[in-house]
Structure 1
Amino acid sequence: MVTIEEALRIIEDQKITLQRETKPLEESLSYALAANTVSPFDVPEFDNSAMDGYALCGLYQEYKLVGEVAAGDSKDISLKDGEAVRIFTGAKVPQNTSAVMMQEKTSVKENTLFLDEMPKAGQNIRKKGGQLKEGQKVFEKGHILNPPSLALMGSLGLAQLEVFSKPQVNIITTGNELVKPGESKTEGQIYESNSYAISGALQQFGFEHHQKTQIQDDFEATKTGIKTALDSCDVLIISGGISVGDYDFVKQSLEENGVNELFYKVFQKPGKPLYFGRKQDQFVFALPGNPASSLTCFYVYVLPLLQKLSGYVRTGLATYQFPIKHPYENRFGRPSFLKAAVFDGKAQILDGQGSSMIQSMAKGNALAFVDEGEKLAEGDLISCKLIS
């Protein structure tokens, strides 16, 4: 058995080779860049108007209107002192433009423009290179592409991006008692739910599963199912069958398939019977079968490895310290990840901390960590991993 810190260190210390690929811009969300990105030109490429209004030459309150410039117009206009043109947001400002006045502060009579106030030099003009200079670094290698990142890359004309590939993930659930939702079940059977939790968590953080399989509690079936899954994945996630019961065949089946155990069992609650192994460049997590244990182990241990394999610079859930809303004492005898809700800057430990209880987890948004035997008074800081 290992400690939480030892388990996380073993995962972090795994030597890996990152794979690269070229993705279309629209398919690159949540991928990590495989190279630094520099701007191929100034952004903006030309001085342009920040709003709908009038481009002015000189600083007065009365101008002669001489034309109009719309966004996308390529015509080259040069203003003379005391002249103005109607202009729209994003349009290139004419030569000799001193300022742009928003239309709400103007009035027009025949061909004369009147301003409600004196303009200020340079107001409402987006200057060439004001956001980026040609050759300036835009993003570092490893930057995770979010929606604003995609917008910026698009504005640079980059239709294809070089990114680190994401790992191929397969999921196996085990258990004779499990029935797929929507099918009929008999006394003693339950509906399978863990694969939906794991699949959803993968999607939540920008990953997908390639294959999802349910197998019975049978040694040959388990061994064959694991062999088949390993034929087409980088990371295999197994839920159930990893404890020490008479029908828990996962650990032995992994050994039979040449998977090298890196750790088995973690001194924690929930999720003590957690397994992590490796076969060449493939990784295997065998998670406990209880729903809350399984999902907790995914968030704490599986997610950091998936992110590491994807070239992320920082891995794992965002962790913060919050004052706790009430006294709490950890009486579980092990360091514990507790279902919690963080609202208005304070953390509350939720009822229903059992390993099988998923409802409280669904209502919360964090995993709060409390060490073995730790006692907290109201207002004490508690470490929380935010899961949503």
Structure 2
Amino acid sequence: MIAFDEAVAILKARAGTLDIEEVGLNQALGRVLAEDVIATHRQPPDPRSMMDGVAIASDGAEPGQVYHIVGTIHAGDDADALTLDDGAAIRVATGAVVPGRARTIVPLENYRIDGDRLTIVERSPGGRFMRRAGADFDMGERLLDAGSLLTPAALALAAAANRASLRVRRRARVAIVASGNELVEPGQPMSAGRTIDSATPMITALCSQWNGDALPSVRLGDDAVAIETAIERLSEQSDLIVAIGGASVGERDHLRPAARALGYELVFEKVRVQPGKPCWFAARGSQMILGLPGNPASAFVCAHLFLNALLTAMTGGGRDASPLSGRLIGGALSSGNRRLFARAKAWVEGGQLFASAFADQDSGLQKVLGWSNALIEVPEDSEVGEGDEVAIHLTGELG
């Protein structure tokens, strides 16, 4: 049995980085950039008005001053078509190019108009409300670094840089295999001794969040030959196999023996964490299998600890899975000789992150799993109590 940190380090070292592909901006959300995004123009390209108002050539305007309106420039118009002389004013819309010689934008609430005669009614300092050319970014400026996670805001910046497509790391092809005679697909009739397979849709959804595309899932009974055949077939179709269940050493736990029979190296077979001790990892060259416990709560915790780390490394980084620091509310937590990851509810109050662990940490309780949005980490042989600072891994949205 190996330590948690050692298991994570092994997964990151074994994960090969996936190929690069070019995708349109609408397909790039959540992907990891494989190139720097460099500005090919300055933004804005010309000085722009920040307000609806008028442009004047003088350095500021005082109440009582009168100007003659000579034209209007809307956003998208060519400002060179109009000349701004002393004593003249040109109407400008927000975002419009500022005409040459303009030194001040007077907001519309600072003047009144009578025909083409404009009278200043409130002082407007010089140089106000004019956004200079290149105020946002200059030509040649690096806007996004390779390895960045493409958020909606990052995609807006790439679009502003006039990029219609981006080079990104390919999403991982993940084959999900669930084993056990007891498993029933959700929506099917129940019968004695059967269990609804809730782990497969959960792991499928997590893969999608972490730049993985799950192949059609495979549910297998406790048949050693069928399991071995499926693993060999899926090894050729995927970048990673995630095996759910069959992680113990019972006479019907065939997954690890099948992997070994197919030439996979069992890199580790147990991890010093709770829940999730039976988590295992095997590799055959570039082909990999991550084995998760069949218990959905244990599978969920191990997915956040290990599958996330593996997929992040494979798809080029971009995500910081480091825990946040917060305060424990509620009863004490004790880890024993395995690092504890307790399902919890986390929230922010007064700018401080808090978390409260659910009283019953039985890994068979899926209601607790469904209600949690965090894992509280407690190091081996440690105990934390009310008000103590703890490491909090967010697994959902803060309430």
Shorter-chain TM range is: over 0.9
1:112 aligned residue (117, 127, 135): 117
Question: Aligned partners of 2:57 and 2:168: how far apart in 1?
Answer: 47
Q: Give 1:278's aligned residue.
A: 283
- The 1-side partners of 2:313 and 2:45 are apart by 37
Pairwise mapping of residues 348-363 of structure 1 onto structure 2 (< 5 A)?
348-363=356-371
Is 2:55 the partner of 1:55?
yes
Task: Give 1:195's match in structure 2, choosing from 195, 200, 205.
Answer: 200
CA contact (8 A) 1:324 1:378 kept: yes
Instruction: Please point out which of 355, 370, 375 is paired with 2:383.
Output: 375
Matched, 1:384 2:389: no
Cα distance in 1 for partners of 2:293, 2:143 equals 43
Other structure's SS at 1:13 match? helix
Q: Is the Cα contact below 8 Å between 2:15 and 2:310 reproduced in 1?
A: no
Residue 231 of structure 2 aligns with an amino acid whose one-letter code is I
Q: CA RMSD in A?
A: 1.7
Q: TM-score, normalised by structure 1?
A: 0.95
Q: Does 1:256 align with 2:261?
A: yes
Q: Is the 8 A contact 2:246 2:294 kept in 1?
A: yes
Structure 1 counterpart of 2:28: 28
1:57: Cα distance to partner? Answer: 2.4
CA shift digits 1:51-105 (9 cap, x unpaired):
3222232222442221111111124133112322222222111111112233344
Show the counterpart of 2:132: 127
Partner of 1:95, secondary structure, is coil
The one-letter amino acid of 1:258's match is G
Q: What secondary structure sits across from 1:144 in the alignment?
A: coil
Q: Encode CA deviations 1:192-244: one digit per residue, 9 max, x unaligned.
A: 11011111112233432123111111111111121222121101111111111
Q: 8 Å contact 2:275–2:341 — kept in the other structure?
A: yes
SS in structure 1 at match of 2:10: helix
Q: Match of 1:70, as an amino acid?
A: H
Question: 1:333: Cα distance to partner?
Answer: 4.5
1:35: Cα distance to partner?
1.7
Mind listing any 5+ residue stretches in structure 1 that lack a counterpart?
Answer: none
Q: How far apart in 2 are the matches of 1:24 and 1:378?
A: 49
C-alpha change, 1:357 and 1:316, in structure 2 (3 Å) is farther
Contact 2:37 2:158 in 1 (8 A): no
Match of 2:323, as an amino acid? Answer: T
Q: Deviations over 1:238-269 (max 9, x none)?
A: 11111112211000111122222111111111
Matches for 1:306-345 after TM superposition, within 5 Å? 306-312=311-317, 315=319, 317-330=321-334, 333-343=337-347, 344=349, 345=353
In the other structure, the counterpart of 2:46 is: 46
Query: Match of 1:73?
Result: 77
SS in structure 2 of the partner of residue 208 of structure 1: strand
CA distance in 2, matches of 1:156, 1:316: 26
Amino acid paired to 1:39 = A
Residue 170 of structure 2 corresponds to residue 165 of structure 1: yes
DSSP-derived class of the 1:197 partner: helix
- In structure 2, give the amino acid aligned to 1:153: A
Distance 1:349 1:358 in 2: 15
Give the conservation status (yes or no) of the 8 Å contact 1:29–1:145: yes
Q: Alpha-carbon deviations, 1:260-282, whole Å to 9, x = none?
A: 21111111110000011112212
Shift of 1:296: 0.6
Unaligned stretches of 5+ residues in structure 2: none
The reply on whether 1:175 has 2:180 as its aligned counterpart is yes
Confirm whether residue 89 of structure 1 aligns to residue 89 of structure 2.
no
- 1:218 is matched with 223
